Amino acid sequence: MGKQIIVIPAYNEEATVAQVVREAVRVADAVVVVDDGSRDRTSALAGEAGAIVVRHAVNRGLGGALGTGIAAAVKLGADAVVTMDADGQHRAADAARVFQRIGQGDVDFVIGSRMIPGEGERAGKMPIHRVLFNAVGNALTYLLFGVWVTDSQSGLRGLSRRAAETVDLRTNGMEVSSEFIKEVREKHWKLAEISIPAIYTEYSLSKGQSFLVGIKTAAKLILRRFIG
């Protein structure tokens, strides 16, 4: 298979980014960390751990960082791109499985779903409020964009070269997760989901989406769908 690049958006993730990068570089040809205007040592630590760091001068949000990361990966000649979180909730081994799925050549977009049990994974460890949050996210994504997926908010995704080259992310915030699904529909990407375990640490939970952020994300999605 061609060049595999992992993209990790990171904002003030000095506590975890180095470890995440050290594991990621073992399963990919390159790791791009997008430092989204962090005020801590995220850039320096990611660079020392072996990542290619691109830095936003000011914080733009998850969507902005992912857009930059994917564009950087395309520039670096990626044949497949996998995005993963910097807070340690994704395993490099699962990123490798996403690369493998893309490598089969019949799909453009792969979601690492925490909601599909199987393949010996420890699914179902997600806290109940996250399961609920996810269900609302999935339902809203389906209502707005007409594509049903089991984990619309997953941060572990894979894009084929075709998808990475044509993806056009317009949102800056957390809405980007659903926007990828919109792209699946509009660009006629072939979609696949693979099972990944839900790994939640106290740290990743503290960094994740709060209820209020969820409401804001949903409101923005709806507004954008109709007047954006």
The residue ranges that bind other proteins (CB under 8 A) are 25-30, 34, 50, 52, 54-58, 60, 64, 67-68, 71-72, 75-76, 91-94, 96-97, 100, 120-121, 170, 172, 223-224, 227-228
Nearer to other proteins, 138 or 178 (CB): 178
Closest CA to 28 of 55, 43, 8: 8
Q: Which is nearer to other proteins, 96 or 192 (CB)?
A: 96
Q: Which is nearer to other proteins, 133 or 158 (CB)?
A: 158
Q: Considering the complex, what minimum distance in angstroms separates the CB of residue 97 from other proteins?
A: 7
The nearer residue to other proteins, 56 or 162, going by C-beta atoms, is: 56
Query: Are residues 181 and 158 in contact, defined by beta-carbon separation less than 8 angstroms?
Result: no
Distance CA 85, CA 144 (A): 25
Judge contact between 19 and 96, C-beta under 8 A. no
Residue 19 beta carbon to other proteins: minimum distance, rounded to whole angstroms: 14
Cβ pair 191, 183 in contact under 8 A: no
Which DSSP string corresponds to 105-155? SS-SEEEEESS---TT--TT-S-HHHHHHHHHHHHHHHHHH----S-TT-S
